[in-house]
A and B are shown apart, each in its own frame.
Chain A
Amino acid sequence: MDNARPLIVTLALLFASSLATAQPTLPSGLRLHGFASQGAVHTSGNRFHGDSPKTSFDFTEIGLNASWRLNPRLLLAGQVLSRRAGDMSDGWPKVDFALADITLVTEDEARAGIRLGRLKNRLGLYNETRDVPFTHPGIFLPQVVYFDKVRNLVLATDGVQLHGELYQPFGTLSATLASGRPVVDENVEAALLRGQIPGSIEPRENSWLASLWFHSPTERIKFGLSGASIALQQDWNLTPATPTIDLTYWIASAQYNAEHWSFSTEYMGLPYRGRDFQPVRPNLSQTSEGYYAQLTYRPSPPLELMLRYEEGFADRDDRSGQTLARVSQGLLPKQSAYSRILSLGLRWDLSRQWMLRAEYQRHAGSFILSEIENPNLLEHDTHWDLFAVQAAFRF
């Protein structure tokens, strides 16, 4: 199986290329796009996207995307994604999104509509396209805001979204309001409950999501506020009570774009509350948080440099992790309560279709690590380095 993977990637690329060249013969309004990427990750300690201390190649993303504009008011769009990310994701193809976008109002100054189906959540600057390598600033998104260990919790919603945009001389305002079932998996359980416990986690009620964005006419300045409110339950028969988790995930975003550089910063807050998990876990009520500042510099067209600093905490009232270590009687070490990460990245666009990337990260703490990939928290290295390279193709 491991040997078959490069072959599968190659076949997908060939398939993608042939589709790309066939594009002019497609019916009008139908568009096909796609991407594929392969990464290599090496860490000095701790597993990240596979067995990275021995250099992992278990980081592959392949997406095929189709959209069909039947008329100016109706767009159908869908994407299938295969994502292999160490023990967090096995590469089995999944429907990333599949939706109908219906425009209800179009005026000179405003547009509004409704989207139905599986929708990517409009959270922060990057969530909607988080698995498309060309659309984000480094190989890895800032993990303290866009956790890959619980990505599915905030990735997509099966439901309905209202959206509206207002075009004014001072800029554009856009807003979304959505409701539906969140997509959850075992990664969510492992990350929220810090390890695996009996039963399985599932949505308890529909989630609610909202976003509000402003950008200046030439998009020099962009501000956003977005969030999701999610209710989950643990389906078990250990006790008569059904354990519940309620959480809110919200991001405040700001970006400035100049010709040769962009500055982005975001703050993420994640208050959550766990009830009725006794005797496996105590009741829990805390707020995780994460924030980063990031500078991308484009000295000349094919090259882009990235510098980022980020900090994230499992509990913002216990940034050092000492309370966590004491309460868990040493089972959860204090370094698992925080992550401070400095990242340096280089992007090289070889052509319109090919991109190469290299990235170095210096980590203090292991908060961002997946509990599924690193089940023994006591073995986490506190200070560790990450080096990664990635090749990506698109059409």
Chain B
Amino acid sequence: MTALLEVAGLEVAFAAGGFTWPGQAARQVKAVNGVSFALNAGETLGLVGESGCGKTTLARAILALTEKSAGEVLFEGERVDRTSLMRLRRNAAMIFQDPFNALNPRMRVGDILAEVLRVHRKVPPDRIAARVEELLVLVGLSGEHARRKPATLSGGQCQRVGIARALAVEPKLIVADECVSALDVSIQAQIINLLIDIRSRMKLAMIFIAHDLAVVRRLCDRVCVMYLGRIVEEGATADVFSAPKHPYTQALIRAIPEIDPAGSLPRNMLPGEPPSPLDLPPGCAFHPRCPQAMDICRSGDAPVLRPAGEQRAACLLYGGVRH
């Protein structure tokens, strides 16, 4: 069986700006650097990492919303390019972080959903109003909300409308970019539950981007941990959380603030902050912060993903030592 989505060697580079002498190559930032993974139908993949690690850029490149500079994306085994783009558009939808900014402030909720139905000819014109109401009920709102403008809704309600709009396409894949991080804790839980519910009801595949690992633990079958544009660890969620292999993943999981009445700050915390993507360290990009860094980590190419326990990690601690 071919995977629903396959990403192979994807790279996204941005011009870094700044002054360049004539003849000198323009400086580039590789926001996404050689990322490969596959996603099966109905599967949920978590994409985690700190800000600036390239997870949002990766999501946008997958949906062809950002120009990629190398690599390819295959949707249902078919290369996504200019001619096959509409196929992807009809089968994939995105949910955004800022619930207010994701909706056109001048359109009513009903019109926002109806527009998608009309453009994609999902239902005959006389069924549109009924389908809009169906969608609103599906995400826990009511038909009454169709007449409202986004500004009169709360953040949680707007996010539900955003989800309804994504579902209107009847997609096979949903990409959710930090879709709960702008919401209050009690509303966050509602939205996560809604996603879990519709995912199983509609057999959706989902790419769930988050910096909050605890949320990923709840929602995802598999998880990819990104650091500075590369995937550093990839595996089943349960494996990655119970026995993280890459020192970065270990530090991330240690740093999750758990509600433990006797809790205190974690010991051996990760020092420093991620370096600027403009000025990546040689070797493993994580080595300046890594408590277990060895001499071989400090030079040469970045390590590649290799089997480490049940999952895969891009770390020289798990073999792949070069001579």
A binds B: no
Q: Interface of B with A (CB < 8 Å)?
A: none
Q: Interface of A with B (CB < 8 Å)?
A: none
